[in-house]
Every structure is written in C-alpha cells, then in structure tokens.
Structure 1
C-alpha cells in the first residue's frame, strides 16, 4: 500500500498539540511498514532540512514542500486559476489556505505515483482534492482535526447556515472523513452519507516512576494561538491570585510571550523533551475558554497519570466528561480550589491520578487507535 499524507506543518515540532497528533499517525504508518510519502507547506521553520529529518527517523519515504509561485511566473494563470476565483468566493476564503501554484505542485506529485490512499489534513486544504484522480483505486480521506465553522464565527460575514453547509459540502467530495472527537463524529455523521471514522489522538502508555522528583506542582503547556492567549489571560488574572505563592508553576510553549513574569512561575518557551517535564509534574492545567475539538495537551497529561484541572472546554472530545482524571470548572474560585486540594489532599490526588491513568488506557492508548486504523486500511 502506498499513502500520500498532506499535513502543512512539521510533525517533529512540539510547539502545538496538532503536530503531536500528526506525528502519532506517522508512527503508526512506520510501525505497520506502510509506504508513506509526505507533503507539507514550505515556511521559515519547515524546510528541506525538516524533510530530511523525517526521512532520517524513517517516518516517510519521500517528502515534498509546497512553495508559493510568483505571480510574474504566469500572470494569466494567476488571475484565472487563483485570484478571480478567490474574489468570487470571498465569503469562504477561510476554507481555502492554498496559495498560487500549490494545486499544480500537488497534482504533479500525485500523478507521478500510483497512490492507494491520499490523506488531506484539515478541511481548509480540501481544494488540493482533484476529482479527476478520484477513482476506484485511489481513495481520498480528509482528516478534519477540528470543527472549522465554530472557528470562523467571529468573522464579519459569518453566517452559521452558509458556513456549516460549506464545510459539509467540502467533506462530501471525499471517500472517508476522519474526526478526532466524539462530538464531531456525532455532528458530521448526521449530514454525511460517507463513512465518518473516529481517529483520536493516541500515545503509548507511560510507565511512571516513583524515583522521579516531583518538583513542578503545576504544568501548563500551550502555544500562542488566539484561544490560548485568551485562556492564559483568564488564568493569570482570575485564578493565579487565589493560589499560594508556594505553588511552583512551569509554563511551556510560545504562550510565555503573553504572560507576566512572576516569582513562582518558570517560563520555558521551548523544551526538547516534554515527557521529562510531565514526569516531574504533579498536576496539569488546561484553562481553555474557547475553541473546539480534542485538547491534545489534556491527553498527553492523562498519559502520564496527571490529574488535569480545566475549564469545560478542556473535556471537549472526551467520551466521559467525569471520572476521567479531569476536574472541570469555569469558576475561578472552584478552579483554584481543585488545584489546592489536589496538591494538599493525597487521597483526593490518588483517586484522580488512578482515574486519569485508567481513562487514558481505555480510550487513548496507542493499541486502541492502531486497531481502528488497521480496520480502516484493511477495507481500502
């Protein structure tokens, strides 16, 4: 079997949870000895060196990066194939992230090799789909990652019915749809007649060691997207002042650019091995106030048996909203109370630690997701 997998960013970059999800899929294909070619989007941080690193790790066979063509290279095609269509469809331009030249480059990659499966990540890259190449041999899959209509609701021209219809219509072009959360599977399957598969994020079970010193009370991992910036602002303005200054907090990721410097807060914009941070931590937080889909950092925390204190958005995508190792509240006082109780009540901590561990093993252990993927690809 030969698979072409499109994912725009570098899966080896640990700055965002979605990259971890992509890497977990690459590891599945590697484990199953499936021939995998990879296509990404060229950027300052995703270059040919990154492709070579993916090859070195034996995660891909061949790698390609889509590069924007200059308008001057073909003025007529620029206007006819790219500029005019985008202006005519300006209301839904958010659903198309391709740039001039991307579709031609992608078509050439597909045309040069007979692929059994082509996987496109995110609905807003679905314009890479080519109807002429869809046939009995090549199956096209869109891995949605997220419910995009919700992401666009603050747009000036947003209309729920039109945006949702557009998202569904784009998915209808494909043979299969992958979703990452139970809520999205329920929602999309109501409007799609093609198969909708739940392919959630998976991680290998982590064996915890009692010898590791737990010198981090709270770990908070986040990138600097709009949702995380708003959430971090809420936590440090509304919750942090309610906590004891003896509580040791470590913040990991680009979100550090948007939080104040505080005496009991360690700021780590980048770490090479996030697992080591989790192993040294007692609990994790996920104070998300908006956004959709499964929160990858919550799953990573649960894989280490860490209880997670989160808002209601933090348990999105989980089949169980309670008894799962997560304590959820949008009330700042209760949020801080959960933290203090976990840190000071060993019985309460152990109960939530075991729930986190058991819930993860039952739903997100690599073995579970591999079984789902094996079933999907055995049917191709």
Structure 2
C-alpha cells in the first residue's frame, strides 16, 4: 500500500482561501485512505490559537497529522534566509518526519516551499515521487501583494528574489505539477522552461452536503444582502471593497435603503478602514465589515445573503470566491478576472453568473438579478447546486487524484 504525505503551510482546517485550496487533495486522499487504497499523512503549519473547523478536523481523526505551530519570529527569520514561506525554516524537522514516515509520494501545497522540495530530494534517500501544487504564479502574486503595505513595500525586491528562487527550486525538484487552470500552467511552465508532466485540478469547496438556505433566509427577507469575502489585507480584495464603497450611491438609487453590503474576511487593512470612515455616516450604514469571522460565522453570513459580488480586477490565480458562492446557492455578479479558471461555467452566464467589466455593467447586472429575485423567475439555489455538481463533482476530483497517484 502506498504511503502519501501532504505538506502544507496553509492550515487545511481553517476557513479562508488557503484552507480551501488544500481540500482538492486532503478530502480525496482521506477517502482513499478510508477505502484502504493508501496510507495518508499530513504535515501542516498553524498559527498560535488559530480558529479551526473542528467538525472537518474530526473527520480526519484516522489520519496521522503532524502540526507545526508558527512562532511570531518565523516571518522575520524566513526573510533573513530568503524563504518566501515560514514553513521552509522547519525543513530539517520535516525531512526527519519524512524519513520516519517513508512515503512513496509527497505532495507539497505550494511552490513557495522550494527549500523543502530541495531538502527532501537531497536528504531523503527513498525513490519517492514529489508532486508540487501551484495555486498562483507567485511572482505575479508578489506584484500585487505589497500595495497598501506602507513601509513594508520596501521588502518587495527581496520577496521577488526569494519567490523566484523557491519556484525555480520547486520546478527543478518536483516530478509532477498540479495547476488550477490552463492559462496559469502555460505561463509558469513557459517562464521556467519546464516540460515536465502536469495536470489541472481546480478548487474543491466541499463534497455535496449543500446548506439549507431557506430556513435562515426567511429571517432576512426584508433586506437585500450583498456579500463579498476574502482576505482584507490583500490589495485586490481591498480594491474590490473600495469599488463597492464607490458604488453605494448607484446601488441606493436602484434599491433605495433596503440593502446592505457585507464585507467579510481576515485582517482588515488600515487603509481599508480609513476609506470606510471617509464615507459619510449615511453611506456607512449600508456597509458592514466583518473582521476575522469564524468558520461558523462565515457560513451564517453566506447563507443569510442573497447575492455574491466579486469586483476583483487584479491578482493571479483562481478565486475561491466563485466556488464558495456556488456551494452556498448564490447568484454571482463577478468581474471577468474573478471568473478566470471557471470558463466551463459560461453556460450559466446571464442565468446564475453575471460577468461585468465596469461599474455600469455591475449596476445593470444587479438590476437584472434583483428583478429575477423579486419576480421569483429563477431558482438560483437549484441552479448553483446543479452547476457545482456538474463541474465540481467530488467523484471527478477523486478520480483525478487517484490517477495522479498511480502514475
């Protein structure tokens, strides 16, 4: 029986984008273990006192899990050693665990873990196969990360160098690659001049246990709730929130005072908060910023909302926002960039998903969705669940992961 080890610096039992990104591997691998096809192990990093989804973690009780708790000093130490991810600091500890586990297949969650990839290949003698997952073209991620970071932006050249070295190492020592979508795969492989084998596996949000929206929505039927989620210290998400601030006058003209915009996510940036308080008190009453919601709080916010909005116009990768909204049965008004990697969903454009590229298109789409909601012309919940099952079928993910392991 093959032993499979998954190494990640994102807490797989957390609630934000990084956690969601791990599920396409950890959920199928856990099921393959329960079916007796593999032995499964996880090494992951967590913040001290980090809130976890205990229900999800409980479902992994039969998996051997090794936790590494991040210290406050890890971020500084990692920058000194030109490591773009603090988990690289623990590469010796990880290699010891690898030698103890003796895995046949090792999957690393991010190309930022290049030092770990190098150490495993050089210090672990067993002829194991190393699979590297790419959630972003990390050099592009750095380009947008330092906006709104103040003096911290002086570190951008150092970060670009450390990310380049790490991605290059991951490409060199990885035996097989996994990407979110074709455009990103072509870009990364071309930049690093690699011809190694690869596969596309998009995000997996949950299996199929859709939430019951109707029970909760009855409590919120007097107000239209628009929701946007994401890390609020990341510049594309900050810009998206500001887009919503700047749209309040137009939305009010369309909906009157019968709406609110919920902006929920981790670590709201100071610039975002300043922009919020620049709004006059009348405008602020339509905005609710929810900082650092727990998994349960986030779930309640999404279930109690009516429309998901994603005015994201920059940033690499594939946005977890879209699949999160689908799973919760919401119609989606999203920028074209937000929909990158979700091209298969184009059959739902104008029915469930409403793309836009300008503020006027955003307002026009909002008007269309509100009309459909008011006239009960569309069952968005059923449409969203059908789209999820059609394009993000759990059995498809299971088959893809099984296929990768058997190569």
- Give the TM-score taking structure 1 as reference length: 0.79
- Greater helix content: 2
Structure 1 residues 62 and 359, CA, compared in 2 at 3 Å: closer, same or farther?
Answer: closer
Separation (CA, whole Å) in 2 of partners of 1:145 and 1:184: 9
Change (3 A) 1:168 1:183: farther
Spell out, residue by residue over 1:219-243, the C-alpha distance to the aligned partner (whole angstroms, 9 max, x if none): 211212323122212221x222211
How far did residue 278 of structure 1 move? 2.8
Cα distance change of structure 1 residues 199 and 103 upon mapping to structure 2, 3 Å threshold: same
1:141-160 Cα offsets, whole Å, 9 max, x none, are 11111111212336865999
Measured after TM superposition, the shift of residue 121 of structure 1 is: 1.5
Counterparts of residues 86-165 of structure 1 (less than 5 Å): 86=81, 93=82, 95=84, 97=86, 100=89, 102-129=90-117, 130-133=120-123, 137-153=127-143, 157=157
**Unaligned 5+ runs, structure 1:** 72-78, 87-92
CA contact (8 A) 2:48 2:71 kept: no
Q: Which residue of 1 aligns with 2:295?
A: 272
Aligned residue runs from structure 1 range 206-225, under 5 A? 206=210, 210-213=214-217, 215=220, 216-225=224-233
Give the 5 Å matches for 1:1-40.
1-14=2-15, 16-33=16-33, 34-40=38-44
Residue pairs, 1:60-71, within 5 angstroms: 60-65=63-68
Deviation at 1:330, TM superposition (A): 3.0
With over 3 angstroms needed to count, the CA separation of the structure-2 counterparts of 1:192 and 1:136, relative to structure 1, is: farther
Query: Does the 8 Å CA contact 2:8/2:44 hold for their aligned counterparts?
Result: yes
Instruction: Please say which of residues 150-159 and 226-235 is displaced more in the overlay.
Output: 150-159
* Counterpart in the other structure of 1:378: 406
Q: Which residue number in structure 1 is paired with residue 365 of structure 2?
A: 338
Q: Residue deviations 1:92-131, cap 9 Å, x none?
A: x46565554x221111111122101111121111110132
Partners of 1:299 and 1:51 lie apart in 2 by 22
State the alpha-carbon separation in 2 of the partners of residues 366 and 182 from structure 1.
Answer: 20
Q: Distance in 2 between matches of 1:364 and 1:11?
A: 19
Whether the 8 Å CA contact 1:42–1:66 is kept in 2: the answer is yes
1:249-288 pair list within 5 angstroms: 249-254=261-266, 258-259=272-273, 260=276, 262-269=284-291, 270-273=293-296, 274-288=298-312
With 173-182 and 126-135 compared, the bigger mean Cα shift is at 126-135
Partners of 1:104 and 1:225 lie apart in 2 by: 31
1:53 & 1:252 partners in 2: Cα distance?
21
* Range that drifts further, 207-216 or 25-34: 207-216
Matched residues in 1 for 2:337 and 2:307: separation? Answer: 18
1:74 maps to none
1:180–1:114 Cα change, 3 Å: same
Aligned residues: 359
Superposed displacement of residue 179, structure 1: 1.0
Distance 2:318 2:62 in 1: 24
